[in-house]
Amino acid sequence: MQSTPSHDVEAEAAVLGACMYQAAVIDEVRQALEPGDFYRPAHTTIWHALLELRQQGAPADPIALAHHLRSHGDLARVGGAPYLHTLASAAVAGSGAEYYADIVRHHADLRMLQSTAIRVLQGATAPGADPAEVRSLLATSLSEAADRARRSSAGRLQRYAVDGWSFVADTQATTEPVWGTPGKAAWASGESLMLVGPPGVGKSTIAQQIVLARLGLIAQVLDMPVREGEKVLYIAADRPSQLARAFTRVVHQADRDVLRRRLVFWSGPLPASLNTEPQLLAELAAEHGADTVVIDSLKDVVGKLTDDEAGLAYNNARQQLLRDGVELLELHHQRKQGPDVSRTQRPVLDQVYGSAWYTAGAGSVLFLSGAAGDPVVHLHHLKTVDDEIGPLPVIHDHPRGTSRVDTSLDPLTLLRQTGSGGLTARELSTQITGENKPSTADIARARRRLEALTKSGHAIQETGAGGGTGGGQATRWKATSRHITAVS
């Protein structure tokens, strides 16, 4: 039998220290903990003092706490003012208080069950023991344990629960883009963006431009606006030195103050894999006050990408972060492709490496296809938020670390170049994909883009005729005269 009751003094210190940094944290912790949950009597006394200060609306920092304990004759008994400052240093800015409280409660539950087991064992082995009395003792003890579990879980079970009408009515009718425009978002607020592709096609190059836009240093990436944020945490788990060199291409001395205040890099591996500690991602964001997190890349923060349990655990980490109001950009890799795969072939979600749960939980998935070092790659929108973006031919300027859309394959540009002849959906698809026999899906995408140009007034549609003895005639689209004149 264990000689020392179950406990974790460091977790107790972290909880108390977090409460000293921010009095509001006390309200969260008190939903999970009861005064008797602390193993050290001094910690119980300090917790009582924190609750009293919170009730009075007073500060809970070490100075105020020391004054309160001194006035009640308890300061020396808990270790004096130096010990309060030691506790305060055990946590930073209230980060992870609820997580540490769960640890404290876990050990308190075990101590309670251990105590119950001892009492039941003593009752069952006492001379003249009555089985009915032992069963009654056991039932009462288990009932008390169940009541305690419900009390300590009440806060956690209510925190994110809302009534049905509020859930529906308070949800925005339209998607708010982080990157893109309403109705055509590459990255939607509250949902993660996964940027996928083989090595060397410029995933990090595009990611660093999005980061600069979130910091307000540039306005657009690939001709799409990026909403400015507050602070970015960039987890550079994969080749941080190379990433640092890449950033030197796009930042300048004038950006120094912004980068110091609003951009934080985590270099190298995380303290633990996110599939083993899903709460770690949200804790990191809270620790650094970030409203945007970039993971570069997934293979370096998850233990085994092909394992479905790891995928589910990572999605748990992702959703916890998003629930806290933090935006998430994930860089990821594709499966290895055979030599017979066409480089112009449209990628599919199955080409994303690892468990399907990674893409299933993402809000948007963009895929960069091409070969390492290619100056021109293609961006495909494999999982959309609303309307599909692209495919877009992307030109990387590697020396400058910038990217732009190749407008020579823009549907409106191609339409203008044909003059009065116009294009069918099949002809447009052939020019965009480079395939002589484009797939039915590619033709359908080309048709949607032409219909969008018609709706915006940039094109007119001449409806074709069905087949017969003389054959059919496909629907054609032509650029409107006013737009042809404007660019001539």
| 448 inside domain | yes
Same domain membership, residue 152 and residue 255? no
How many of the other CB atoms lie within 10 Å of CB of 355? 20
Tell me, what CATH number does 30's domain have? 1.10.860.10
Res 344: pLDDT: 54
Start-end of H helices in 126-202? 131-158, 164-169
| 163 inside domain | no
Q: How many domains does the chain have?
A: 3
Same domain membership, residue 437 and residue 345? no
Mean per-residue pLDDT, 431-457: 84
**In what order do the strands lie in the sheet containing 402-405?**
263-267, 232-236, 292-296, 327-332, 193-196, 364-369, 376-383, 392-397, 402-405
Rounded-to-integer distance, Cα 326 and Cα 286, Å: 9
Output the pTM of the full model: 0.64
Mean per-residue pLDDT, 249-269: 95
Mean per-residue pLDDT, 165-178: 78
Range of the domain at 64: 9-158
Res 173: pLDDT: 62
Rounded-to-integer distance, Cα 415 and Cα 72, Å: 83
| 194 inside domain | yes
Mean per-residue pLDDT, 453-467: 82
Same domain membership, residue 360 and residue 215? yes
Same domain membership, residue 200 and residue 149? no
Q: Which residues contact 473 (CB under 8 A, 6 or more apart)?
A: 464, 465
Tell me, what CATH number does 311's domain have? 3.40.50.300
Rounded-to-integer distance, Cα 430 and Cα 433, Å: 5
| 330 inside domain | yes
Residue after which a domain boundary falls, among 339, 373, 406: 406
Start-end of H helices in 5-130? 9-21, 24-29, 41-56, 62-71, 80-88, 97-125
Mean per-residue pLDDT, 211-239: 96
Same domain membership, residue 258 and residue 229? yes
How many of the other CB atoms lie within 10 Å of CB of 485? 9
Same domain membership, residue 384 and residue 274? yes
Res 299: pLDDT: 95
Res 455: pLDDT: 86
| 70 inside domain | yes
Same domain membership, residue 382 and residue 273? yes
Q: Which two tokens stand for residue 122?
A: 């003593």
Q: Is the pLDDT of residue 445 over 60?
A: yes
71 with 3: CB under 8 angstroms?
no
Using a 10 angstrom Cβ sphere, with 0-12 exposed, 13-18 middle and 19 or more buried, the burial of residue 314 is buried
Mean per-residue pLDDT, 31-53: 90
Same domain membership, residue 282 and residue 185? yes
Encode pLDDT of 96-130 as tens digits.
Answer: 788 888 899 889 888 888 888 888 888 889 898 88
| 440 inside domain | yes
| 172 inside domain | no
210 or 121, higher pLDDT: 210
Rounded-to-integer distance, Cα 431 and Cα 442, Å: 11
Torsion 152-157-160-162 (CA) sign: negative
Same domain membership, residue 352 and residue 310? yes
**pLDDT tier at 94, thresholds 50, 70, 90:** very low
| 167 inside domain | no
**pLDDT tier at 467, thresholds 50, 70, 90:** low
Same domain membership, residue 246 and residue 129? no
